Amino acid sequence: MPGNGYGKEQCMSIAEISLERLQPEAFIRDQVAAIRAAVGSDVAISALSGGVDSAVVTLIGHRALGDQLKTYFIDNGLMREGEPEQIARWFAELDVPVEIVDARDAFFAALKGVTDPEEKREKGITQVFYKDVVGDLVRTSGAKVLLQGTIFTDVEETSAGVKRQHNVFEQIGIDPQKEFGYRVVEPLLQLRKPGVRVVGKALGLPEAIWSRPPFPGPALAARVIGEATPERIALVRKATVVVEEELAGCGAFQYLAVLHEDRVTGLRDGRRDFGHQVEVRCWDSQDAVTATPTELDFGLLRRIADRITSEVPGVVSVTYNITSKPSSCIEAV
């Protein structure tokens, strides 16, 4: 039964459903039943992140629970340009009401001075999101359950020690009931990203959602090396607009912009300008476990660099990542 607790030993015994074996209609039916059984007559909440995983979970949850499900979009200040409005519009069209929660101050306060990547994920995101913000929503809504879009790869990477995924608790010894005051139900635990997309399509999500490239839990905080201040998030948000516009439809698994902390020597109006560097990453991958850099047209790369250096204030240099995962990871943070 999904989401009803998996300990450190059990986590790797979750039965993955491969893309070949996945029957989306049956999967949705099973998960609807499982959610109903887990939630009963309680209220559950779901938090959209803008990614496909949380969108799919919300739609399955809505099908299972109707009005018993409260759906939120938590604006942590780390989202992409226009994201809150876009998400609300998409879900309004699906007749799923979404409440936007402005939690920007709480997140930036928690991220202040934090530069270590794991600490950023842990303190800045996990603690504020699950304890403070979702904790508050749970208390005010009377919810007992949080529906969450954890997928197989998240569990695998966290338990292998690769990276702390923000949404994986139990195999690292956190009991959300005790720690945060609610239970967590995770309907997508047996799927990897391509399976989630198939289910999203079967649910009637618009293609703009189910085909979205993955976006990390810590959002743009994962796209800034060093401290994620509002100013630095604003810079990487502008670079993200360029990268997503230019690479939409390129067929890659995921593409992103990273704002470096390093400064490099550049030139502006004929004078030295000790400026920012942005790194572009674009990955070919099936499931994010391994990945290779996409062989993009060189003219396209040049155009991306030209746009970023002209549209993002203070950026003088743009690079393209040419490493495989491993030894790189998909995200820099």
Nearest CB to a copy of itself, comparing residues 123 and 131: 123
Q: Which residues contact 162 (CB under 8 A, 6 or more apart)?
A: 329
Among 332, 288, 59, 8, residue whose Cα is nearest residue 168: 8
Quote the tokens at residue 81: 């340009």
Q: How far is the CB of 328 from a copy of itself (least distance, A)?
A: 5
* Cα–Cα distance measured from residue 200 to residue 106, given in angstroms and rounded to the nearest whole number: 31
Nearest CB to a copy of itself, comparing residues 30 and 287: 287
Nearest CB to a copy of itself, comparing residues 55 and 233: 233
What are the two backbone dihedrals, phi and then psi, of residue 71, each rounded to the nearest 5 degrees?
-110, 130
Q: Which residues of 205-219 are buried (b: 16+ CB within 10 A; e: fewer)?
A: beeebbebbbbbbbb
Helix or strand (DSSP H, E) at 302:
helix 298-311
Q: How far is the CB of 57 from a copy of itself (least distance, A)?
A: 26
Q: How far is the CB of 260 from a copy of itself (least distance, A)?
A: 5
Nearest CB to a copy of itself, comparing residues 59 and 256: 256
Nearest CB to a copy of itself, comparing residues 202 and 329: 329
Output the furthest CA–CA distance in the chain (Å, rounded): 68
Q: How far is the CB of 12 from a copy of itself (least distance, A)?
A: 13
- Specify burial of residue 332 (Cβ count, 10 A radius: 0-12, 13-18, 19+): middle
49 and 58 Cβ atoms separated by less than 8 Å = no
Nearest CB to a copy of itself, comparing residues 86 and 292: 292
Residue 116: count other Cβ atoms within 10 Å of its Cβ.
11
Would you call 278 helix, strand, or coil by DSSP? strand
For residue 115, the number of C-alpha atoms closer than 13 Å in the C-beta half-sphere is: 5
Which positions lie near a copy of itself, rule CB under 8 A?
117, 160-163, 225-226, 260-268, 270-275, 279-280, 292-293, 295, 298, 301-302, 304-306, 309, 315-329, 331-333
Q: How far is the CB of 195 from a copy of itself (least distance, A)?
A: 23
Q: How far is the CB of 325 from a copy of itself (least distance, A)?
A: 7
- Residues making up the chain, counted from first to last: 333
Q: How far is the CB of 300 from a copy of itself (least distance, A)?
A: 10
Among 220, 215, 221, residue whose Cα is nearest residue 116: 221
Nearest CB to a copy of itself, comparing residues 32 and 162: 162
